[in-house]
Structures are given as structure tokens and as C-alpha cells.
Amino acid sequence: MVVQAIADLVLRISGGSIYLVVLLAGLFVAITTALGSLSAFLSHRLPEGGVEFSMAFASGIMIVASFTSLILPGMEYAGFGQVAAGIVVGAALVFAIERLVPHEHLVQGYEGPEHLRRKLKVAWLIALAVIIHNFPEGMAVGVSIVHDVPTGLATAIAIGLQDFPEGAVVSLPLAAASGGVAFPILLGVLSGVSEAVTALLSAYFFTRFSILLPYGLGAAGGAMLYITIKEVVPEVYAHKGREFWMTLGFFAGFLLMLYLDSSL
């Protein structure tokens, strides 16, 4: 199948090294994000509904990946208890980060400690929001590859594909607001790099402490579910009148991730 063939090729290139596999997967998601960010050179505005459609597409991928690549494999590996505990820890970790780190959502606005709201420029607040959102995705790539290379690579491919429009979602609004493209593109590139770094750190930790892998699978799944349900979905449906296209975007991402999993 397609993903299995890609997994075999990556394993040959990497010589069987999990770290090199994760590095290649991390580079893929970083490059797709960077390519999306380069769209700031081409246009200073998104098509109407472009942000929400891209986020809906990403949410479909993240929900399927949370279960098929992380939660269900973890339960097959170690049962319900450890994975459930990991889900709670992952969701609680993102919840705590959102409360402690100031950041700005493109639709919902500011979130974090109120006394830090005026101390950072909006661009940096958006950058922090992107990093918070990319943390679960990077962790999902690293942990799922440690557990099973083909499944992890399917996750990386899907996340990389949704990172292309995500890079545009980050860069284009900033380009329109600032009138320049250098900083928005740099920010998009850095958001992809942060995802790759998180994937590598997660892989390193869970290969060194493999006994905690079921907790890690649950934590990555819980973190992605929290981000999707609490952050992405409300922003997708924040504007009335576009529900059909947003739902279409969600199912496009949903079916893409299912297809990649069926290609194993």
C-alpha cells in the first residue's frame, strides 16, 4: 500500500534509525508549513472563508489521527487505564499552557494572563498561539513513529498536508496587517521548525523511557483533541453563513486521514 511503501523507503534511507525517521518526518512537516508561508509573497489577502476552511480541514485530520494513530493503538498496546491517564495529562498540559502563555487567536482573540496583554506585539502573540497549536502535532508525529513507523508516517503525511494551508493561515493575515512579508514568512517557517523539534524531543523521550509510551500516545491524542474541540472548531464556526463549506473542509480532512490509515 502507499504509506507502507513510503515507510519502507524511509526506513531504507534512515538505516532503520527511529531518530532519522522522525527527523525526515519533521523536515517534511516543516517544509510544507514553510511552503504555505511563502504564499505571503503572492497575495496580501486570503480568499473569503480561507482561514476557516483550512482550519476545518486540519480539524478533520487531527480528530481521526488522535484516535487511529494514538489513542486506539495505545489501548491495543497497554489497555484503557494508561492511555486514559495520558489523555487527561495531555489535555491538562495544553490547558495549563494556554492559561500561562499569552497568545492571540486569529478569530477568538487574546487568551492568557491579562497583565501580559499589552507587553507583547500582536505578531508575537499570534506566533505563540501557533507554537501552542503545533506542540500536540509535533508530539503526535514523534510518539506515533516510536510506536509504529508506518502509522507514524501516515500521521506525519496528513499533518504535513494540512500544514501547507496552516502556513498560509499564519502568514497572510500578518502580511496584510503589516504590509510586509519577511516577518510573516519567517514566523511560518519557525512554526514548522517548532513542530519538527517537538517531534524529535518526543521521540527521544519515549525511546529512552519506553515504559511510558502508552501514556505518551494518550497524551498526544488528548492534546490534539483538546486543541481541536476547544480552539479550532469554535473558530471554524465563528462566522455564520459558511457552515456548509466549513463542514465540507472538515470531512475532506477526515477522509484524507482515514485513507492514509487504510493505506497501511
pLDDT in tens, 61-86: 989 999 999 999 999 999 999 999 99
Give mean pLDDT, residues 45-73.
82
Place of cell 494518550: 218
For residue 201, name the pLDDT band (cuts at 50, 70, 90).
Answer: very high
Cβ neighbors of 161 (< 8 A, separation 6 or more) are 32, 61, 256
- Cα separation of 247 and 257, whole Å? 16
Q: Name the more confident of 200 and 100.
A: 200
Q: Name the more confident of 174 and 245.
A: 245
- Return the pLDDT at 58: 85
CB 76, CB 217: distance < 8 Å: no
Q: Name the more confident of 193 and 49.
A: 193
For residue 115, name the pLDDT band (cuts at 50, 70, 90).
Answer: very low
pTM over 0.85: no
Q: Is the pLDDT of residue 239 over 60?
A: yes
In the 3-class helix/strand/coil scheme, how is 98-121 assigned residue by residue? HHHCCEEECCCEEECCHHHCCCCC
- Return the pLDDT at 116: 45
- Cα separation of 191 and 253, whole Å? 21
